[in-house]
Chains A and B, each alone.
Chain A
């Protein structure tokens, strides 16, 4: 008998759409042919992973139709199989995959809808958190803006698109009015996605507010995020933006980095 590793290497190949012949060499011949027996396993691998992707990407599946989704999922599974056994973590790369997938290149909003659905999935499974009490920041002053960074509700993420992906998503929910059409020329959106209680929600933000929050989430200082926001809107109001952050209960903590002085010798 060859080493187990050699047998398993051929099986992984056969399961992910490669040549089944090397694996079949190891299989006992009895009644049904080895290739047909391997095909039973392969069928389950592809259909169960397709179902997992469909559960994470129901709107994408609906937009392209069941048959095409199965085809795209089949190609995706072969190219990007799961790295681990928690299937709620599988499929982050589907948006990028679809953007480069020649058969649906003309549906240019599809990959952005996929990114929105991935964000919804991440928010569903994110950790719980305790909102930051603004009273904890009372001792801070304007001088601290360079050093102040925030931690967010772990379910929060941001997705921007040049298509109205929020309207596309809503029009493709179960129970949505089938006669309602989406105006694809309505322009783009900047969305904040998070979980509130048991519900995952998203909403559109103005360009400056989006830039501000997204910069903070990425770890930029309050001063840095302000600069980014003002690049979108010179009249951006920092006080109002901070008030909204606390009103939305979107922050979970803050950090005051040690002050780095230039030429401190």
Chain B
């Protein structure tokens, strides 16, 4: 993809394209700077969903967010899945391609979840190998997203942001910094979200994700569930603002996957993210000028 288009995304907030909104998007062409899609929903050989995506791609930049590479699996990467992702990337020409620091496939079984990893030297070696292989197969840089976690391992000596920093250093991949996931993981595992952001290699952040979560009580313990089913929480907006102050403006995506509201609500959330980006740029200029 021309780098020009990626530059245009730099300070823009897009939204996740959901099937219930596709007809409205095609009919009304809303003023949204870009869309992101889940790659695995478009890997069929044909059909109306793929045709609609091709139409939308004619008018908007599209980022591709995968859930199926299983970068942390102890098994080798699924070569067929990589080929299918490459074919889709060639077809849609996305501006960004991403997947997660997690695993979901073992022994030919796909567990439909972004499962957690113990952050050990063994895992680091394996994840770096898989990221490098994926980047070779795709012929482009991959962004790796921090997951939301509900547990940690007894033996997991490397903190998650340091683990991500090392993956970036060894493979040259980019980071997809999911601010909601940092908030969810921090509450669920008792971490300091500001310290988490500070430990990330913020220069490698090429995209932010924002989404809503639910707050639950489990046996008297507060557990945040990353269900992408609500507006972005105030604490997440604040953390995003802080992350922006470290990284500068980056393409930012508002995700919404359950209890999906009207398209206008997603656009409102994206406009708010765009406003925060604008004021962080203004603040930067002010700091430079003073």
Among B70, B80, B103, find the residue whose CB has the most chain A CB atoms closer than 10 A: B103
Interface with B: A63-71, A80-88, A137-145, A224-232, which one? Answer: A80-88
Asked if A38 lies at the interface with its beta carbon under 8 angstroms from chain B, I say: yes
A125 near B68 with CB under 8 A, answer no
Q: Is the CB of B40 within 8 A of A27?
A: no
Which of A94-135 touch B at CB < 8 Å?
A: 124-128
Query: Are B112 and A49 within 8 A (Cβ)?
Result: yes
Contact residue among B46, B67, B113, B190 (Cβ-Cβ distance under 8 Å from A31) = B190
Selected interface stretch from B145-153, B162-170, B263-271: B145-153
**Pairwise interchain contact A84-B118, C-beta atoms closer than 8 A:** no
A85, B67: Cβ atoms closer than 8 Å = yes
Contact A27/B111 with A4-B118, A4-B122, A84-B81 known, Cβ cut-off 8 Å = no
Contact A37 B40, beta carbon cutoff 8 Å? no
Chain B residues closer than 8 Å to A62, beta-carbon distance: none
| A residues 17-51 in Cβ contact with B at 8 Å | 26-34, 36-38, 40-41, 44-45, 48-49
Count of residues in B whose CB is under 8 Å from the partner chain: 53
Task: Say yes or no for A257: interface residue by CB 8 A criterion.
Answer: no
Cα separation A86 to B50 with both chains bound (whole Å): 14
Identify the B interface with A (CB < 8 A). Answer: 40-41, 43-49, 51, 67-68, 70, 72-75, 78, 80-81, 84, 103-113, 115, 117-118, 120, 122-123, 126, 150-156, 189-190, 218-219, 221, 223, 225
A residues within 8 Å of B by Cβ?
1, 3-5, 7-9, 11-12, 15-16, 26-34, 36-38, 40-41, 44-45, 48-49, 52, 81-88, 124-128, 154, 195, 198
6 A-B contacts, Cβ less than 8 Å apart?
A28-B151, A38-B151, A41-B115, A41-B151, A85-B110, A86-B43
